[in-house]
């Protein structure tokens, strides 16, 4: 499925520059050795490509990250390091090849205000914010993001990090580890351990940059938000951070049982099976001609032989085998509830267990999350060849027409709203009911986009998945953004909304309460309240609704009732919509919900046609659907 049209729009506002010249005033001494950075955008200093762990190569591939080695000569940190190994995409470093990145990728980048060495002292330590990038835990890189405006405007320090992804980051196989493996090694949660190792590095070194190790906020978007919620749920991260912001994340976990068992005959499972990945490796190596033969061969191998085969695979073979082994209805790459790195009850346990030590949280979604994905569905939107400037830019196809606008709006509403229910409203209510009062929620509603080639993007994608990142980092002063992203007269109000969002985020980083923002001049963002009181903050520009607190809670019952009465759908379409929401793992709508909906009307409905549509769309679209 062609995503170049959207990815090109995204790239122009979140990607930052490559290398800058060194600046002698950025010389710092950290625990591993001396380091020098460069002058960044917006009157900042930036240090790029700092190792926070040993490269996870060879025998360290599926192991907990080790502390980085020290150095003697001054480390010149002016160029980003390679992203972690992944299938190539526009989000990677080399879109011309099938694969990009490297297994040697555990590096981070630090942005600070332009502090002179003599200005760094304990009395003026700044809040620290650690950003975790998204990409379905399969693609993405820290080099995509430039937080310099947030840093300079609000006097905070931002650290962007990388972590192992895909089956290099989250992977389990019963034969993988020997008797010397630690509990962290056998957890399967290597990507999570990487994020925790980055926090350890921050706690050890951030004072050298003027940061306060006792005031660290973790924030991320999509898969990065899932990883932020995993930190919230990890006993190993306790004491390493103080606040968390979860932007469009999910809070469900993978299945350990499914990951260490063969797929059932119907191919349906909630998580990728390490055994099936190994079967695909045997087929790729020519050691088996089909899955049946591969399974027989695997069952006759010793754990040591299986382990050796896994460690000897090139990363591209491993990632391709993982893709080929994907089950039907499997969720995105997520953490395992191993009981050591992640609570045995998963991320979900951290929401309801009041005995745990829990930090202040912001969680939110965008009003039109699902429009980004629905817009690429040829059943909903007509696409055609790109022309003019867009064809010159390498875009093959562009959206031409929404086939049925009412249906499109309706299907997008329920997909986005159930996402909000399971990622924001449900968890917020659980947290508050379990005694966690410092719970803040939002919905991002800005959708004042331009019309491109006759297509109104405000209707096509609206306040789509990932759009809020632009407002959090404030990368607005760009000719392409002003002239191609914003609708008519939308830029000034959009710029103001970005400043307001940054103010809330920064105030939360300083105090743990977004309140009225840094200057105490914004509508008050109050915590989630039970009952009929206010729940979450709506973030929109003054051209539209503005900023206000809402008391409309999206419960499953509320949304199901709304769906049952929605005149935009026929009864059959209501059933098919709910079936689509029940498809897969972690969606928050169960098969039981489907079967009892509207007095059982949907229980015996024929879903074969929509099932084919869903599964055909999943083929080869993992990156676009799990960003």
In terms of residue numbers, what domain contains 291?
274-324
CA torsion 248-505-116-71 (nearest 10°) is -30
Return the half-sphere exposure (C-beta side, CA atoms, 13 A cut-off) of residue 42: 20
pLDDT of 113 reads 96
**Region 67-88 average pLDDT:** 96
Residue 318 domain flag: yes
Measured CA to CA, the distance from residue 503 to residue 153 in angstroms comes to 9
Over pLDDT 70: what percentage of the chain?
93
Per-residue pLDDT at 620: 41
How far is Cα 31 from Cα 71, in angstroms, rounded to an integer? Answer: 10
Residue 303 has pLDDT above 60, yes or no: yes
Residue 599 belongs to a domain: no
Q: Are 422 and 586 in contact (CB under 8 A)?
A: yes
The whole-angstrom separation of Cα 619 and Cα 622 is 7
Answer whether 494's CB lies under 8 Å from 540's CB: no
The reported pLDDT for the residue numbered 330 is 86
Q: How far is CA 560 from the centre of its chain?
A: 27
* CB within 8 Å of 507: residues ≥ 6 apart: 513, 514, 515, 516, 517, 518
- For residues 457-479, give the mean pLDDT: 93
Question: How far from 389 is each of 5, 283, 394, 452, CA to CA, in Å?
Answer: 12, 44, 9, 11
Q: What is the number of domains present in the chain?
A: 1
Lowest mean pLDDT among 74-83, 423-432, 611-620: 611-620
Only one residue has tokens 């062609």, namely: 2
Residue 481 has pLDDT above 90, yes or no: no
In a domain, 311, yes or no: yes
Q: Does residue 316 fall inside a structural domain?
A: yes
Q: What is the pLDDT of residue 395?
A: 81
Q: What is the DSSP string of 267-328?
A: -B-SS--HHHHHHHHHHHTTS-SSHHHHHHHHHTS-HHHHHHHHHTS-HHHHHHHHHHTPPB
Mean pLDDT across the stretch 264-277? 95
Q: Is residue 278 domain-resident?
A: yes
Q: For residues 572 and 356, give the distance between their C-alpha atoms in angstroms, rounded to a whole number.
A: 45
Please check whether residue 141 lies inside any domain of the structure. Answer: no
Q: Is the pLDDT of residue 333 over 80?
A: yes
Which residues, at least 6 apart from 527, have a Cβ–Cβ distance to it below 8 Å?
432, 437, 438, 439, 440, 513
pLDDT by residue (tens digit) across 513-554?
Answer: 999 999 999 999 999 999 999 999 999 999 999 999 999 999
State which H helix or E strand residue 432 sits in.
helix 426-433
pLDDT score recorded for residue 317: 97
Q: Residue 23 phi/psi, 5° resolution?
A: -125, 120
Cα distance between residue 246 and residue 219, in whole Å: 6
The answer to whether 77 touches 47, Cβ cutoff 8 Å, is: yes
In a domain, 302, yes or no: yes
Evaluate whether residue 132 is within a structural domain. Answer: no
Q: What is the DSSP string of 391-419?
A: HHTT--EEEEEES-HHHHHHHHHHHHHHH
Work out the burial of residue 249: count CB atoms within 10 Å of its CB; fewer than 13 is exposed, 13-18 middle, 19 or more buried. Answer: buried
Q: Give φ, ψ of 147 to 5 degrees.
A: -90, 20
Query: pLDDT tens-digit profile of 175-217?
Result: 998 888 999 999 999 999 999 999 999 999 999 999 999 999 9
Mean pLDDT confidence for 562-590: 88
C-alpha distance from residue 71 to each of 54, 163, 322, 582 (Å): 12, 22, 37, 52
Query: How many angstroms separate the CA atoms of 164 and 159, rounded?
Result: 17
Asked if 309 contacts 315 with a C-beta cutoff of 8 angstroms, the reply is no
Q: What pLDDT is attached to residue 359?
A: 98
pTM: 0.95
CA distance 625 to 627: 6
- What distance in Å separates the CA atoms of residue 504 and residue 234, rounded to the nearest whole number? 26
Measure the N-to-C terminal CA separation of the chain; round to a whole number of Å: 14
């Amino acid at each position: 499925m062609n995503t170049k049209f959207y990815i090109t729009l995204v790239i122009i506002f979140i990607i930052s520059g490559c290398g800058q010249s060194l600046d002698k005033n950025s010389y710092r001494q950290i625990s591993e050795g001396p380091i020098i950075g460069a002058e960044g955008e917006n009157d900042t200093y930036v240090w790029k490509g700092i190792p926070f762990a040993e490269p996870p190569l060879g025998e360290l591939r599926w192991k907990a990250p080790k502390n980085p080695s020290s150095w003697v000569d001054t480390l010149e940190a002016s160029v980003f390091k390679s992203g972690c190994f992944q299938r190539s995409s526009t989000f990677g470093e080399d879109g011309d090849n099938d694969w990009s990145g490297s297994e040697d990728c555990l590096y981070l980048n630090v942005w600070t205000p332009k502090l002179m060495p003599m200005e760094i002292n304990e009395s003026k330590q700044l809040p620290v914010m650690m950003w975790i990038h998204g990409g379905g835990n399969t693609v993405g890189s820290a080099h995509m993001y430039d937080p310099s405006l947030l840093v300079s405007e609000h006097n905070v320090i931002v650290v962007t990090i990388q972590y192992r992804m895909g089956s290099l980051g989250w992977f389990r196989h019963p034969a993988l580890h020997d008797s010397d493996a630690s509990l962290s090694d056998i957890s399967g949660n290597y990507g999570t351990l990487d994020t925790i190792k980055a926090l350890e590095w921050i706690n050890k070194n951030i004072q050298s940059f003027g940061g306060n190790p006792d005031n660290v906020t973790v924030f991320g978007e999509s898969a990065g938000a899932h990883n932020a919620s995993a930190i919230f749920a990890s006993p190993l991260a306790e004491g390493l951070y103080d606040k968390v912001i979860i932007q469009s994340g999910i809070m469900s976990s993978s299945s350990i049982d499914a990951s260490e068992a063969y797929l059932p005959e119907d191919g349906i499972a909630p998580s990728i099976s390490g055994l099936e990945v190994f079967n695909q490796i045997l087929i790729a190596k020519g050691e088996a001609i089909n899955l049946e033969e591969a399974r027989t061969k695997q069952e006759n191998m010793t754990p040591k032989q299986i382990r050796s085969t896994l460690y000897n695979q090139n990363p591209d073979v491993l990632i391709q085998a993982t893709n080929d082994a994907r089950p039907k209805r499997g969720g995105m790459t997520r953490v395992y509830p191993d009981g050591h790195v992640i609570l045995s009850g998963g991320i979900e346990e951290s929401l309801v267990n009041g005995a745990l030590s829990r930090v202040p949280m912001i969680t939110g979604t965008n009003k039109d999350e699902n429009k980004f994905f629905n817009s690429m569905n040829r059943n909903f939107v007509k696409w055609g060849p790109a022309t003019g400037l867009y064809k010159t830019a390498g875009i093959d196809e562009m959206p031409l027409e929404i086939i049925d606008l009412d249906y499109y709006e309706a299907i997008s509403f329920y997909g986005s709203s159930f996402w909000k229910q399971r990622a924001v409203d449900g968890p917020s209510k659980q947290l508050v009911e379990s005694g966690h009062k410092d719970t803040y929620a939002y919905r991002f509603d800005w959708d004042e986009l331009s019309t491109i080639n006759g297509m109104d993007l405000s209707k096509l994608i609206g306040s789509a998945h990932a759009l809020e990142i632009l407002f959090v980092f404030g990368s607005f002063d760009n000719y392409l953004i002003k002239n191609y992203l914003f609708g008519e007269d939308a830029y000034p109000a959009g710029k103001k909304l970005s400043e307001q969002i940054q103010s809330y985020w920064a105030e939360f980083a300083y105090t743990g309460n977004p309140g009225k923002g840094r200057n105490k001049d914004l509508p008050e963002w109050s915590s989630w309240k039970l009952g009929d009181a206010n729940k979450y903050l709506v973030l929109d520009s003054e051209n539209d609704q503005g900023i206000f607190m809402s008391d409309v809670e999206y419960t499953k019952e509320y949304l199901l009732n709304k769906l049952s009465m929605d005149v935009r759908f026929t009864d059959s379409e209501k059933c098919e919509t709910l079936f689509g929401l029940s498809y897969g793992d972690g969606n928050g709508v169960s098969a039981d919900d489907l079967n009892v909906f509207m007095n059982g009307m949907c229980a015996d409905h024929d879903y074969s046609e929509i099932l084919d549509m869903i599964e055909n769309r999943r083929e080869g679209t993992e990156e676009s659907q799990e960003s």
